[in-house]
Chains A and B, each alone.
Chain A
Amino acid sequence: MPVLCSSCAEKRAVLKRPKTAHSLCKECFFWAFEEEVHQTIVSAQLFKHGETVGIGASGGKDSTVLAHVMKVLNERYNYGLKLLLLSVDEGITGYRDDSLETVKRNQQQYELPLKIVSYEELYGWTMDAIVKQVGLKNNCTFCGVFRRQALDRGAMMLKVDKICTGHNADDVAETVLMNVLRGDIARLRRCTAISTASEGEGVVPRCKPLKYAYEKEIVLYAYFKKLDYFSTECIYSPNAYRGHARTFLKDLEAVRPSAIMDVIHSGENLSVREGVKMPVQGTCGRCGYISSQALCKSCVLLEGLNRGLPRLGIGKHHRLHEKILSQQPLTQKEERKLKAVDF
């Protein structure tokens, strides 16, 4: 006997929701999924009427579904938002060039304007060139730091009011676990926030409308909606340490499907003891971007690349910030430490 949809009780169910274990038909699942994102947006007051919102689009499943749902909800509930797609071209041959093709197709399908900012135009370095100098270790540090800033810079160029990214519940839960494993108390406190709006002036606020959507449901949604997305792992990501957290989270989900939400619930209810030293937000002495140090991470990384000392930004070399700012030469000993390690 076919299982009936637990929501409409008329149609035949085609899937079991990973989040609630209810059997639903296709239409009811779409409706529930979209409605949940809508509830998240409304209850967290993510947007205001008339705002311009940039959707961080990588061509992957999360951002493709996000772009689709945002467009649907914007029309259905008359958000009055001006949506556009914002992509970052890291310059990774065989990965990003292909995924950007997907984004370009999405642009046509959804009729949204698209802006691509590239590492090459912003920093003068493509990821391919960086990996050539740095090697396969630590290159994700460069990519991650640069992407964050590239999104912001692209957003400022387009004069958008907000950026939304496709981070899903699995990503948030995984980040909670990662920050516990790394002992990063400052990020542990911030990482469950749905929006960075409270973090201060000078940056475009970013938010995660899919924060409570399970990754598996995003895939289900994309699958049944027949959305066009690009699914390949980055060729440079060896993915080891975060990979541990990811595997652990997947195992947790297998034991108890609500574990993803439970981890987020835990993260939302944590707070930091008074008197624990927290980084103070300031601005970078060189580019004016937000930074807790004298120089922002991406200026330090860039300086390292340009001086041929790629390890300058890996690990903690805060002492050297003053030297870099005042353009003093580094000592031989310091230079030796910061050269790329040969393997």
Chain B
Amino acid sequence: MCQVDEEYNGQLEHRVTPRVSKKCVKCKENTAVLIIRAGDAFCRGCFKEYFIHKFRAMLGKNRVIFPGEKVLLAVSGGPASSSMLSQVQEGLSRDAPKKLRFVPGIIYIDEGGASGQSMEERERAVAQLESVFRATNYHYHIVHLEQVLSLPSSVLEAGSSATEKPQTGSSYKAAVDQFIQTRKNQHPDLSVENAQSHPSSLSMQEVENGGTSPITPEQTQALQRLFASVRTLTAKEDLLHTLRQHLILHTARTQGYTKVMMGDSCSRLAIKLLSNISLGRGASLATDTGFSDPRYGDVVIVRPMRDYSSKEIAYYNRMFDIPSVFIPGLDTKAQDKASIQHLTESFVTKLQTDFPSTVSTIYRTSEKLNTACPPQNTHTQPSAKCLLCVCALDTKLEEFSAYQATLISEQLSQRRGPGPGFTPGTAAAPGLPPASSASQCCYSGGGQHQSCMTGEGGCCSSAKEPETVDLKSLLCYSCRLTIKDMTAEDALPQYILSEAERRKRRSQMREEISEFLLDEEEDEAILRVNGSL
């Protein structure tokens, strides 16, 4: 467990060094041009076939995309998402039986306003990407991060999915039928064939729809103020990710897309998995890194590139001239220890060079995970979900957990008055058992009572002023950490603040009428009250 090479000894002994003129392991005819994994040398043609097959296999295996469905491709300009775009193009250009049958659109989020790019740099990047997008003939949307400031609050609500999630082969068929049926009811003029045979008719609108709506310098300044109010790069990156998701979700909803494809490669997902663990996002690990992420209900995120390593993607893009655009992000040129995300990335990358199975091992771990409390995306009350990342809240205070231990530590090192001179034994719990101690009243206690943490005096005394919305109680463990790193909560965009207020009001209403609500509702209320500090 603690040594190098422990499990690899056997393999290391029989290591074959690749020769220059090796034949392709697949067709055994052509000269190999690249080695994907140890020992697997491929020729150009076989590599292309292998790469393309992987994409279709991933979609075919998971069967969540329906014929004629509108799918939004999130393209950042980086190698993985550009490669994804080329795979979609490839899949849609094929002849009938094997052809992919969905209707793609592209979204690019211009984050230059947050990462400090000048207007000229941003325009240049957008122009480059537009030329790539135009060549695909797909409908595309260029969205500036500034537009997040004018989002409606409704974006934070999880929608209900129109179709039931398909499980097996037969139910997929049923789901497809149902999907087509609902679509026909909604848009009688638009049949599957119609949507597919006239992709150009869609792309006609791109100039007005895909064209960028101008942003004002004031908006950019407001965005910069928001990011300036965040003290750490870790929290900045987390916030940027959240806002980006909101924008993509909003665009998907308003433009009628029901699936969003993200270009996360297996290398990226391994990094994301490890950094999410480090950020305290363990509870939503499965949805954050799995193939499909149903947390938003009506719009499902899928990750079809999750079987490719970043190396494979880089080779493919280079060999087949897939254009990608480099755009500096928040952590470009940052030091290793600048943020948790960046640190994890350099850690995994370095470990991968010494232990080539690192990424695939981490990635396979993610496939075996599930969330502790399964997110019932369609039925759960919005209050039980995190205001920012829309995952199921993981802040229910259990008898004993890391979260509770942290709160105890905070309380114990702030508490005024009775110190060590105070007679031991009266301050906290008595001997053993029972387990439920008197001092725990301040944790499991009332919902809007701010106990211990902010109060000057003892427990459960000071109620918080009603003016400020207490965001924390609406957030998951990890988003609380992000908000904690902000100098002022009210710097957040208005749509977040007003939704927070609305949820607060709802929960107060529920409290008032709680005694008249029946059992099922009560359980939820308890869950929610416990979730708030």
Q: Is B419 an interface residue (CB 8 A)?
A: yes
- Residues from chain A with a CB closer than 8 A to the CB of B343 are 248, 251-252, 255
Query: Which B residues are CB-close (under 8 A) to A240?
Result: 2-4
Q: Given A49-B432, A138-B3, A268-B402, A252 and B340 touching (CB < 8 A)?
A: yes
Q: Is B280 a contact of A239 with CB atoms below 8 Å? A: no
Contact of B427 among A35, A80, A138, A256 (CB under 8 A): A35
Contact among A29, A80, A267, A315 with B432 in the assembled complex (CB-CB below 8 Å): A80
- Residues of A contacting B: mostly: helix
* A242 to B400 CA separation, bound complex (whole angstroms): 28
Give, as a whole number of angstroms, the nearest-CB distance from A38 to chain B: 7
- A30 engages B365 (CB within 8 Å): no
Interface size on A, residues (CB 8 A): 87
Name the CB-closest residue of A to B363: A183
| CB < 8 Å neighbour of A268 from B276, B371, B401 | B401
Is there an interface contact between A44 and B347, defined as CB atoms closer than 8 Å? no
Those of B1-15 within 8 Å (CB) of chain A: 1-7, 9-10, 13
CB-CB contacts of A117-153 with B at 8 A, as 1s and 0s? Answer: 0000000000000000000011111001000000000
Complex contact A272–B370 (CB within 8 A) = yes
CB–CB B431/A140 < 8 A: no
Q: Are B431 and A79 in contact (CB under 8 A)?
A: yes
**Contact: A7 with B4, CB < 8 Å?**
no
Contact A180 B413 (CB under 8 A): no
Please tell me if the beta carbons of A39 and B429 are within 8 angstroms of each other in the complex. yes
Min CB gap A17→B, angstroms: 6
Known contacts A77-B425, A265-B401, A273-B369; A341/B361 CB under 8 A: no
Q: Does B180 sit within 8 A of A, measured CB to CB?
A: no
Stretch from B96-104, B167-175, B258-266, B281-289 that touches the partner: B281-289
**A-chain residues with CB within 8 Å of residue B371 when the two chains form the complex:** 269, 271
| Distance in angstroms between the alpha carbons of A58 and B374 in the assembled complex | 41
Evaluate contact between B419 and A28: CB separation under 8 angstroms.
Answer: yes
Complex Cα gap A45–B409 (Å) = 19
The residues of B that contact A144 with a CB separation of less than 8 Å are 1-2
Provide the residues of chain B in CB contact with A27, threshold 8 Å: 419-421
Pair B340/A76 contact, Cβ less than 8 Å: no
Which residues of A are found within 8 Å of B328, using beta-carbon distances? none
Interface string of A251-272 (1 = CB under 8 A from B): 1101110110111111111111
Cross-chain contact B2 with A242 (CB below 8 angstroms): yes
Say whether, besides A17-B413, A268-B402, A262 and B369 are in contact (CB < 8 Å).
no
| CB of A188 within 8 Å of the partner chain | yes
Question: Once the chains bind, are B280 and A137 in contact (CB under 8 Å)?
Answer: no
Stretch at the interface among B309-317, B433-441, B497-505: B433-441
Q: Are B10 and A261 in contact (CB under 8 A)?
A: no
Q: List 23 A-B contacts (CB under 8 A).
A: A7-B413, A22-B413, A39-B439, A40-B405, A42-B432, A45-B435, A77-B430, A137-B9, A144-B1, A181-B361, A185-B365, A185-B368, A241-B3, A252-B278, A259-B340, A265-B403, A266-B278, A266-B282, A266-B285, A268-B282, A270-B372, A273-B369, A315-B7
A-B contact sample (18 more), CB < 8 A, given A264-B402, A271-B370? A6-B414, A9-B416, A22-B414, A31-B412, A36-B409, A43-B400, A76-B425, A77-B425, A180-B277, A185-B369, A248-B347, A252-B343, A255-B340, A261-B280, A266-B276, A266-B283, A266-B285, A315-B9
